Amino acid sequence: MPCHNALKHRGGLTLANYAGAMKGGDDGVVIKAGDPDNSLLIKVLNGPVDSPKIPKMPMGDGTVSPADIQKISDWVKAGAKDPDY
């Protein structure tokens, strides 16, 4: 993930590791375990968000397929558990 990796924290957010993803970014937590509909991470994948004002992700080139968005949403719904445990 070129935009939210260990070196580049666009929006104050790193998605390079579980701790970083759960910590969130400039606008606070982006993952609400069990609640994908209110998780900023899922919202920005589905379109721009007004409050806070964040464009649709990924910005610029690249897309995340609906199937992958669903996979991430299901993971959040199931409690956003650390995949390494």
Return phi, psi of residue 10, to 5°: -55, 135
**Dist. CA 9–CA 46, nearest whole Å:** 21
Instruction: Give me the least distance between CB of 85 and ligand HEM, in Å please.
Output: 21
Nearer to ligand HEM, 40 or 80 (CB): 40
Tokens of 48: 């721009």
Total residue count of the chain as it appears in this document? 85
Residue numbers of the site for ligand HEM (CB under 6 A)?
3-4, 10-13, 15, 24-27, 30, 40-41, 44-45, 52, 54, 57-60, 62, 64
Nearer to ligand HEM, 54 or 80 (CB): 54
